[in-house]
């Protein structure tokens, strides 16, 4: 019997296999061959959520009358919990019914916001380097993506900060050509930033909101890492800008905030009309979240938050081990003020991040994400996810050291698949 050859829709035929899907396959092969793989690529927290979150999930799962469809935009209780969290954490007042929409993770919100607002011919402004879903979603919606290069600036807003601490990577909004600004409908920002780990001062959010107001652009802020600040640093919400709710929405996610990435829960908050529009689109696509997950989200958002201090202290130890080791190897790496990553320049002699990361994985069993996977301005860098214990991170860095000594920093192989990676618009989780 011959197989039907059914071509996929044009909008998906340009998509490539998920970078992490391919990486995971290769790591599984290496593990099967007996390699002790250390996976520092995907930003999936390895630390568990607090027990009160798990207990709420289990209690909810035991209620046998709560297995029906959820409420489309989230239950009143979970929307109230997001509003309470925003009031307590950011001093931002939200109307739970008009200004909060439950999401099945922020990635879903990024897609649906893009589909709700971008038509063919519209422009989406997306940071480069940046989380690839902003560009992927805009392209799937038929829009054009205008990459906003992030410029590396030394953080002069903090007294006594050493040059290597907390570099800022911000887009130069004033350099966006006026015809592009006129066609742009959505501006994506993400601070604390993946992959650069940059934070943004509230003053930058104020400038971004003023720019969007001037050009009639929706400011969409992806706030996936606000709860991952180190020491006393507490990253702001874009909604803290006066009048922000007139031009902005924000995706908030529990994935990294509360170590529940697999639970798939977050919220879109802000501009009431935008919330209503995205909710209308979503009601045609999905049908709310499982009640037990909503219960767990309520517990996370409104329950005891002190465990996060110990969690951040854990990440901080990992960050310090990683940055110190990378610097000892001669890699330029800023000390992040937030996020669960370290963003480092390739060692001298290496220029192709995809080929380098592949060669390092093959030779050492340590897996990093190549900077180019986040856009062409990420070339020359690699990202380390702090998703392993300090001991495993030290082991990873020791293997990298031995590899660099053997190869003098140059990748020992550069296969075709590494070159393919370099060209693709990788979609990262």
The C-alpha atoms of residue 287 and residue 290 are separated, in whole angstroms, by 9
Which residue, 261 or 393, has its beta carbon nearer to ligand PLP? 261
Residue 401 contacts residue 329 (beta carbons within 8 Å): yes
Residue whose tokens read 């979150």 = 53
Q: If binding is defined by CB under 6 A, does position 429 make contact with ligand PLP? A: yes
Among 39, 75, 190, 198, binds ligand PLP (CB under 6 A): 190
Which residue, 224 or 298, has its beta carbon nearer to ligand PLP? 224
Q: If binding is defined by CB under 6 A, does position 114 make contact with ligand PLP? A: no
Subset of residues 298 to 327 that bind ligand PLP, contact rule: CB under 6 A:
none
Q: Residue length, the chain?
A: 429
Subset of residues 236 to 275 that bind ligand PLP, contact rule: CB under 6 A:
253, 255, 261, 266
For 207, the token pair is 């400038």
Q: If binding is defined by CB under 6 A, does position 377 make contact with ligand PLP? A: no
Helix, strand, coil content of the chain in percent (nearest 5): 45, 15, 40
- Best CA proximity match to 399, nearest among 370, 368, 365: 365
Taking residues 126 to 155 in sequence order and writing x for each that binds ligand PLP by CB under 6 A, - otherwise, the string is -----x------------------------
Which residue, 193 or 364, has its beta carbon nearer to ligand PLP? 193
The C-alpha atoms of residue 135 and residue 339 are separated, in whole angstroms, by 21
Among 105, 166, 347, 378, binds ligand PLP (CB under 6 A): 105
The C-alpha atoms of residue 359 and residue 411 are separated, in whole angstroms, by 6
Among 75, 106, 197, 364, binds ligand PLP (CB under 6 A): 106
Q: Rounded to the nearest whole angstrom, what is the least distance from the CB of residue 33 to ligand PLP in the complex?
A: 29
For 73, the token pair is 């935009």
Number of chain positions touching ligand PLP (CB under 6 A) = 14
The C-alpha atoms of residue 421 and residue 424 are separated, in whole angstroms, by 5
Q: If binding is defined by CB under 6 A, does position 43 make contact with ligand PLP? A: yes
Q: Got the DSSP string for 258-320? A: TT-GGG--EEEEE-HHHHHHHHHHHTTT-----HHHHHHHHHHHHS--THHHHHHHHHHHHHH
Q: If binding is defined by CB under 6 A, does position 107 make contact with ligand PLP? A: yes
Q: Rounded to the nearest whole angstrom, what is the least distance from the CB of residue 334 to ligand PLP in the complex?
A: 18
Interface with ligand PLP (CB under 6 A): 43, 105-107, 131, 190, 194, 222, 224, 253, 255, 261, 266, 429
């Amino acid at each position: 019997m011959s197989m039907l050859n059914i071509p996929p829709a044009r909008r998906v035929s340009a998509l490539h296999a998920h970078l992490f899907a391919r990486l995971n396959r290769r790591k599984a092969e290496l593990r099967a061959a007996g390699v002790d793989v250390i996976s520092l690529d995907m930003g999936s927290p390895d630390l568990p959520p607090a027990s009160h979150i798990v207990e709420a999930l289990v209690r909810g799962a035991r209620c046998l009358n709560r297995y029906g469809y959820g409420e489309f935009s989230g239950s009143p209780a979970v929307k109230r919990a997001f509003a309470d969290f925003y009031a307590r954490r950011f001093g931002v007042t939200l109307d739970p019914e008009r200004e909060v929409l439950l999401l099945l993770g922020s990635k879903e919100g990024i897609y649906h916001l893009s589909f709700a607002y971008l038509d063919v011919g519209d422009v989406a402004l997306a940071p480069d380097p940046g989380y690839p879903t902003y560009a992927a979603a805009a392209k799937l919606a038929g829009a054009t993506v205008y990459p906003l290069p992030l410029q590396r600036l030394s953080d002069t807003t903090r007294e006594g900060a050493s040059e290597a601490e907390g570099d800022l990577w911000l887009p130069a909004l004033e350099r966006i050509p006026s015809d592009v600004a006129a066609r742009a409908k959505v501006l994506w920002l993400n601070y604390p930033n993946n992959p650069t780990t940059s934070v943004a001062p509230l003053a930058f959010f104020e400038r971004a909101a003023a720019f969007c107001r001037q050009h009639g652009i929706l400011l969409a802020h992806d706030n996936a890492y606000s709860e991952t600040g180190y020491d006393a640093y507490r990253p702001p919400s874009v909604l803290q800008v006066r009048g922000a709710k007139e031009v902005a929405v924000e995706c908030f996610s529990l994935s990294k905030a509360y170590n529940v990435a697999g639970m798939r829960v977050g919220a879109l908050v802000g501009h009431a009309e935008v919330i209503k529009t995205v909710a209308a689109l979503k009601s045609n696509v999905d049908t709310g979240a499982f009640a037990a997950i909503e219960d767990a989200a309520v517990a996370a958002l409104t329950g005891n938050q002190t465990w996060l201090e110990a969690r951040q202290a854990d990440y901080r130890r990992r960050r310090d081990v990683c940055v110190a080791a990378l610097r000892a190897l001669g890699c330029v790496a800023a000390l992040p003020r937030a996020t669960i990553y370290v963003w480092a320049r390739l060692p001298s002699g290496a220029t192709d991040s995809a080929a380098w990361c592949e060669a390092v994985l093959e030779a050492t069993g340590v897996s990093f994400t190549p900077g180019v996977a986040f856009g062409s301005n990420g070339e020359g860098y690699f990202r380390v996810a702090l998703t392993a214990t300090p001991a495993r991170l030290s082991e990873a860095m020791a293997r990298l050291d031995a590899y660099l000594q053997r190869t003098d920093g140059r990748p020992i192989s550069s296969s075709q698949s590494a070159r393919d990676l370099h060209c693709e618009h990788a979609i990262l989780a």
